[in-house]
């Protein structure tokens, strides 16, 4: 048996192409619809908010897309990332299962998100764009895009969900460091924000509202495009570098996973790990059990409907076919800001709907319990989002123990929790609550 705990891939073996799953899906994706006419969006219409080169990727039916040299150069600041066997965690769980994780916490902002922020900034720059507008929940995406924009000399305007702006001041500091402008949302900067504040001056915001603000900003500035950190096809594709590296590393280690796990907010980090393996399942080559893990407080895959819905709250974005809790859903204030989105990526939704991927929802307190055990045994403190993947990993490892089967479990470690320590404090002081989903009325 291979005894290495850490499998590293050399810089020269960094993947040179992204994997696009679209041509391999059993059922093709349904097109985005225009918010007013409800007709399929034309490329010209999409280019009101996104640059043409990224929209080509969004609809591409090419299985492999080259990663530009310049993008590889920036990504290789922290990539390839290590694949690590969590031996001490396994021992603590007394499981016969092997547990491996792909560590995405070593990037400049500390998560998987710059894997797409960097190419997005690059392609916008190439298209002649000067400024990007975006939203951020916990601040992970905003800090990743701020880093990428700084690198390519683009301006960056971030609308940050107000509750996180107040709870997570250090993410804001990080965005300032990379010279982004950060505005708590809802704000007075946009029509949308002003209307919401008029009705409810205390409104703490949501990702859906912040998206509406960023899109309105984009439509009012000719040099600006909008950038989204998850959900869209091209975003998921940029993240496949995670799974492509992992496949090489598993080959080096001589192991084959049985179960592949990741947390899902919009679905991008999990897609990044899972889709290159899903390719083998779709081709009938290999079988894996895929588990997408979401919070019970925001359970779009396990409790949502599979239908067309807007990506934002106001209804300014194209409609996309996805699992959704409804665009007016505002998730309770759980500490996993990155998992509080009402919808789910169309690609992940498609795979779950086709029965190729399973979804599970986890409660907040048992999720932190798993994260604490991981941090104590492995020494790495997970982001609260990542903790959901760890909870599911623990459950599978305990099942393997009960059934006395030596399974191989692989999960994506989407980001570190060094700026989320207040959430751990809340857990230790007993202040955390478990939330079950309560459907909200469409307004």
300 binds ligand PLP (CB under 6 A): no
Q: In DSSP terms, which residues pair with 260 in a beta bridge?
A: 290, 410
- In the list 157, 212, 227, 230, the residue contacting ligand PLP (rule: CB under 6 A) is 230
CB of 290 vs ligand PLP, minimal distance in Å: 14
CB of 104 vs ligand PLP, minimal distance in Å: 8
95 binds ligand PLP (CB under 6 A): no
Going by C-alpha positions, the residue among 210, 190, 218 that lies closest to residue 46 is 218
Encoded tokens for 429: 């002081």
In Å, how far are 289, 304, 324, 380 from 103, measured between CA atoms?
Answer: 20, 30, 29, 10
Going by C-alpha positions, the residue among 8, 3, 88 that lies closest to residue 379 is 88
386 binds ligand PLP (CB under 6 A): yes
How far does CA 1 lie from the centroid of its chain? 34
311 binds ligand PLP (CB under 6 A): no
Q: In DSSP terms, which residues pair with 159 in a beta bridge?
A: 135, 183
Stretch that binds ligand PLP, among 71-79, 87-95, 189-197, 379-387 (CB under 6 A): 379-387
CB of 37 vs ligand PLP, minimal distance in Å: 29
Of 95 and 349, CB closest to ligand PLP: 349
116 binds ligand PLP (CB under 6 A): no
Of 95 and 119, CB closest to ligand PLP: 119
The angle formed by the CA atoms of residues 318, 321 and 324, to the nearest 5 degrees, is 100
65 binds ligand PLP (CB under 6 A): no
Asked if 373 contacts 92 with a C-beta cutoff of 8 angstroms, the reply is yes
The site that binds ligand PLP (CB under 6 A) totals a number of residues, namely 19
| Phi, psi (deg, nearest 5) at residue 172 | -60, -45
- In the list 58, 216, 258, 385, the residue contacting ligand PLP (rule: CB under 6 A) is 385
Q: In DSSP terms, which residues pair with 292 in a beta bridge?
A: 262, 359
113 binds ligand PLP (CB under 6 A): yes
- What sections of 169-240 are H helices per DSSP? 169-177, 191-199, 207-220, 233-239
Of 144 and 330, CB closest to ligand PLP: 144
Half-sphere exposure of 309 (CA within 13 A, CB side): 26
295 binds ligand PLP (CB under 6 A): no
CA distance 55 to 44: 10
CB of 236 vs ligand PLP, minimal distance in Å: 8
253 binds ligand PLP (CB under 6 A): no
CA distance 387 to 427: 13
Binding mask 328-367 for ligand PLP (x = CB under 6 A): ----------xx----------------------------
Helix 114-126 with 52-59: angle, nearest 10 deg: 130
Residues 122-161 that bind ligand PLP (CB under 6 A): 140-141
265 binds ligand PLP (CB under 6 A): yes
Where on the chain is the footprint of ligand PLP (CB under 6 A)?
Answer: 111, 113, 140-141, 230, 263-269, 338-339, 383, 385-386, 414-415
């Amino acid at each position: 048996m291979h005894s290495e705990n850490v499998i590293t891939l050399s810089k020269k073996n960094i993947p040179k192409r992204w994997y696009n799953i679209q041509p391999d899906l059993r059922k093709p994706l349904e097109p985005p619809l225009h918010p007013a006419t409800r007709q399929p969006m034309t490329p010209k219409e999409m280019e009101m908010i996104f640059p043409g080169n990224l929209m080509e990727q969004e609809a591409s039916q090419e299985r492999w897309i080259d990663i530009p040299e310049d993008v590889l150069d920036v990504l290789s600041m922290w990539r390839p990332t290590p694949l690590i066997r969590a031996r001490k965690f396994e021992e603590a769980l007394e499981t016969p299962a092997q547990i491996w994780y792909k560590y995405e916490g070593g990037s400049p902002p500390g998560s998987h998100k710059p894997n797409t922020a960097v190419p997005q900034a690059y392609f916008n720059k190439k298209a002649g764009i000067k400024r990007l507008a975006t939203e951020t929940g916990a601040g992970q995406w905003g800090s990743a895009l701020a880093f990428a924009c700084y690198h390519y000399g683009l301006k960056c305007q971030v609308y940050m969900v107000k509750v996180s702006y107040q709870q997570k001041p250090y993410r804001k500091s990080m965005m300032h460091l990379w010279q982004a402008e950060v505005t708590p949302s809802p704000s007075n900067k946009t029509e949308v924000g002003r209307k919401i504040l008029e009705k409810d001056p205390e409104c703490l915001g949501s990702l859906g509202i912040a998206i509406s603000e960023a899109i309105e900003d984009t439509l009012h500035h000719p040099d600006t495009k909008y950038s989204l950190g998850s959900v869209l096809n091209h975003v998921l594709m940029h993240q496949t570098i995670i799974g492509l590296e992992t496949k090489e590393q598993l080959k080096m280690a001589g192991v084959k996973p049985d179960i592949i796990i990741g947390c899902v907010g919009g679905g991008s980090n999990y897609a990044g790990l899972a889709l290159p393996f899903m390719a083998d399942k779709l081709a009938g080559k290999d079988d894996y059990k895929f588990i997408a893990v979401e919070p019970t407080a925001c359970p779009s895959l396990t409790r949502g409907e599979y239908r067309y819905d807007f990506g934002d709250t106001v209804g300014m974005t194209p409609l996309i076919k996805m699992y959704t809790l409804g665009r007016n859903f505002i998730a309770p204030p759980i500490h996993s800001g990155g998992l509080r989105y009402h919808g789910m990526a169309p690609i992940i939704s498609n795979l779950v709907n086709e029965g190729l991927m399973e979804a599970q929802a986890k409660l907040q307190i048992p999720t932190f319990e798993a994260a604490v055990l991981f941090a104590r045994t492995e020494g790495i403190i997970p982001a609260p989002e990542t903790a959901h993947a760890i909870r599911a990993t623990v459950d599978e490892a305990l099942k393997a123990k009960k059934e006395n089967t030596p399974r191989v479990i692989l999960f994506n470690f989407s980001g570190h929790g060094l700026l989320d320590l207040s959430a751990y404090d809340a857990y230790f002081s007993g202040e955390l609550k478990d939330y079950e989903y309560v459907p909200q009325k469409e307004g």
